[in-house]
Structure formats: structure tokens, C-alpha cells
Amino acid sequence: MDSRSYKDHFFKKAKVQGYRSRSAFKLIELNDKFKFLKNGIKLLDVGSFPGSWCQVAREKIKNGKILGIDKKEMKKIEGVKFFAGDFIDQKSKAAIVEFFNSKIDVILSDMAPNTTGNKSLDSIRTNELCLSILNFSKDTLNKNGVIISKFFMGEDFQEIKTTAKEYFKKIDFFKPNSSRDESRETYIHCSGLST
């Protein structure tokens, strides 16, 4: 099976298993490796459209509190609250804080801006979103909390790594098998706030 066929396998598998997109398998792989989806947790999914990460979270978390946020409207998922808004806006961040009304245990982000076709610019814009997640976590994440965020390998990778090391006791990088080989995307896993 060549690389493209292998990746299409995930698309077909998502449809068969009822996931809204193939990215569900990225979260499943990330959780298999880092074991952060647990019962009773408070979880925020930033850039949640179309909802496959919320679907996986809902399957794995019992008696928890799950919020998805995205600029694009997401179809309802039982047991998941959705907020339509831009994560970067202060109004959206205030709504997130109000919804949880306490520290968050896990923040997920598979978020990427609309692509421009310029790989360098797209990488910078995605990595800015990753940095905004890291900065948001300082005041909102449980001290033993976890962040999983997508970023692209590029010139600003070092800034992400430096910021993560400043805020967290443990950081790891992981590219799931279900990511396309040609994609520069990878994920950062951060745990244990040090601030």
C-alpha cells in the first residue's frame, strides 16, 4: 500500500466508524501515546470544526465537561457544548472561562487558519495560533493539565519550543501515522505547568 492509499485508508475508516473527519485518528494516536483523555476532566477543543476530535473526546470521557470552539458552525454532538467564535477574540476567551468556571484539564487544538497557498505564510499563521494556545493556558489550565496543539515545522518552531519549555515541565513532539507524509504538521504535547 503506497503512502497516498494508506492515508485514504484513514478517510474511509473515519466514514465507516462515523467520525466526521480522518483527523479523529490523529487524536486517538495522540491519546494512545500520552494518555490524557480521562473520565471527569474539563476539556477545550479549539478549532473544533467539523467535530471529530470532540467525538473522540466524548467517547473517551465520562462525567466530564467538553467545549468546542470554532468560527465555523459545528453540528451538535451529544454531551458537547459548542461556542461559535474566533478563539483569538477576547470575547471568546471570556466565554470559555465563564463556561468552565474553573481551571481546564486539557486543551486541544488541531486548528489551522485558511490556507493561502504560501507554505511559509501558512506555517507562520498556524504557529501563531499554537503560541496563542500556550499563552492562554498560563491562566486557564489546571497545574497538572495538558495541551495538545498542532504546529508546522518552520522558522518559528524555536519560538514555540522556547515558550513551551518556559511554561511547562514536560514537552514532547509527535507526528501521528494518520498525518499525511507530505504534511509538515506535527503536534506538541505539554504537561505540568511550571508557572
Q: Where are the alpha helices (DSSP H) in the chain?
A: 3-17, 24-34, 52-60, 90-100, 119-140, 157-167
CA distance 18 to 104: 28
Single out the catalytic residue among 62, 150, 161, 169: 150
Reading the block at residue 92, the C-alpha cell is 471568546
Q: Is-catalytic flag, 76? A: no
Instruction: Strand 42-46: give its sheet, edge to edge.
Output: 80-84, 65-70, 42-46, 104-109, 141-152, 185-193, 168-174
CA torsion, ordered 148, 71, 96, 137, to nearest 10 deg? 30
Alpha carbons within 13 angstroms on the beta-carbon side of residue 47 total 18
Which are the contacts of 4, defined by CB distance < 8 A and separation ≥ 6?
A: none
d(CA 181, CA 195): 36
Residues with active-site annotation: 150
